[in-house]
Amino acid sequence: MSKFSSFNFSGKKALIRVDFNVPLDAEYKITDDTRIRSSIPTIKKILKDGGSAILMSHLGRPKGGPEEKYSLKHLLPHLQELLNENPDNPQQARLNILFANDCIGEQAEQKSKNLQPGEVLLLENLRFYKEEEKGDTGFAEKLSRLGDIWVNDAFGTAHRAHASTAVIAQFFPVENRMFGLLMESEIISADKILNNSSKPFVAIIGGAKVSDKILILENLLERATDIIIGGGMAYTFMKAEGGQIGNSLFEADKVGTALNLLKNAEARGVNIHLPADSLIADKFSADAETSAAPSNLIPDDWMGLDIGPNACEQFCNVIMHSKTILWNGPMGVFEMHNFQHGTKCIAKAVADATQKGAYSLVGGGDSVAAVHQFGYADKVSYVSTGGGALLEWERARAGATACTGSCRHRGFVETKAFAQRRHNSAVHPLHSGRSCTNTRASAI
């Protein structure tokens, strides 16, 4: 049994770093509650034990001070609803969630002090303080005053050495800091993909930019047998190889990176699959004129906004022959109806391959949105809540290990690169949260 599952929270105040960074519409209604939903089992286990929960999270990108649109109070009604969903015991008294309109300071401390077993306190947005992202030690210490136990259940931000995700660890003894249930399952599935994968292993990488995905691409060269590159980022590769890409997305400063990656892939025997053809459009619009063209022969003034029919077949064929599948990033501008076919056909192929016995993990905001939108979320092996964390898994693991000191007990295998970074860091990451920052700094 894991450290979290076997821990008895009775009478304890658990300070939980959750990732409630959910999308909100103009009326502050949550449009996708996956991240909140995913943390509910962790919170419920603590309450069931007779403990209380203090929840801390960031939301959006505030500029360093309070902003109404990023207030976590907008999440209260829905969080309350989710925590009160109780199919086992519908008679149970309704749980009220308290709110502190500052994540540190007298009010938060008082509310936390008065918190009774079975109660929940939600703190205001951590990023209303710029100290959070800076990993400020003083800020982390103030947060740490709010709980007896620190539980890290925010996989989506676990790769960042922020005050609440890493630096705070040093203020809790090792026995009082741990992963929550969501972190545990995310780590197990990411590890299954990146360190214990059955071959052939295909990584499907899409989305807008090469620059956003270069880390995972480089990381995957060591692990995957096949890498499918789709979406806007494919055109930088096409152009690097001398193709004509018209007005398609292009990062001129990443041509060298793309060429290097192709060269390294060849040297390692990793097959890179670029889309044979594209669905091209005369403007970036849902009512654009469209046509199909080879991805390296796109006329001037036209742009590739989705993979074409031949590329769908080409990619699906690779996916159907794979035993491990990682998918991050859409194949086209799937938000527009006329450019979603490619992403949809990949989603279906991933689901079909999973049914045939492959292990599939979908991670990263937009591909997760796509599998939900097209109805395949329950037909893949695992849908991850953390895009960035999954992409930067090596670093995520460095941070997570340092934060909780529990990875090793769970039998994770260190890569050489990670071991080297750990060796380089000033303090052993398993013994101090402070070393998180060092580990990360040395990793970048």
Binding site for ligand AMP (CB under 6 A): 207-209, 212, 231-232, 249, 304-305, 329-330, 332-333, 335, 364-366
27 Cβ neighbours under 8 A, 6+ residues apart: none
Residue 298: C-alpha distances to residues 229, 278, 290, 308 (Å): 17, 8, 12, 12
CB 232 within 8 A of CB 209: yes
35 is a catalytic site residue: yes
Residue nearest to ligand AMP (CB): 207
d(CA 79, CA 90) in angstroms, rounded, equals 17
Catalytic residue among 206, 329, 363, 388, which? 388
Q: Which is nearer to ligand AMP, 175 or 301 (CB)?
A: 301
Q: Which is nearer to ligand AMP, 304 or 386 (CB)?
A: 304
Q: Which is nearer to ligand AMP, 44 or 209 (CB)?
A: 209
Give backbone dihedrals phi and psi of 79, rounded to 5 degrees, phi first. Answer: -60, -45
Catalytic residue among 13, 17, 35, 213, which? 35
My answer on whether omega of the bond before 41 falls inside 30° of 0, hence cis, is: no
Catalytic residue among 342, 365, 405, 433, which? 365
Q: Which of 142, 131, 133 is nearest to 168 (CA)?
A: 142
CB 309 within 8 A of CB 289: no
Helix H or strand E segment including 339: none
Q: Which is nearer to ligand AMP, 49 or 335 (CB)?
A: 335
d(CA 46, CA 18) in angstroms, rounded, equals 14
Q: Which is nearer to ligand AMP, 388 or 405 (CB)?
A: 388
Q: Which of 186, 209, 163 is nearest to 363 (CA)?
A: 186
Considering the complex, what minimum distance in angstroms separates the CB of residue 368 from ligand AMP? 10
Considering the complex, what minimum distance in angstroms separates the CB of residue 334 from ligand AMP? 6
73 is a catalytic site residue: no
Considering the complex, what minimum distance in angstroms separates the CB of residue 161 from ligand AMP? 22
Considering the complex, what minimum distance in angstroms separates the CB of residue 287 from ligand AMP? 16
243 is a catalytic site residue: no
408 is a catalytic site residue: no
Considering the complex, what minimum distance in angstroms separates the CB of residue 99 from ligand AMP? 31
Give backbone dihedrals phi and psi of 55, rounded to 5 degrees, phi first. Answer: -100, 130
200 Cβ neighbours under 8 A, 6+ residues apart: 225, 226, 321, 322, 323, 324
**So which residues are the catalytic ones?**
35, 209, 365, 388
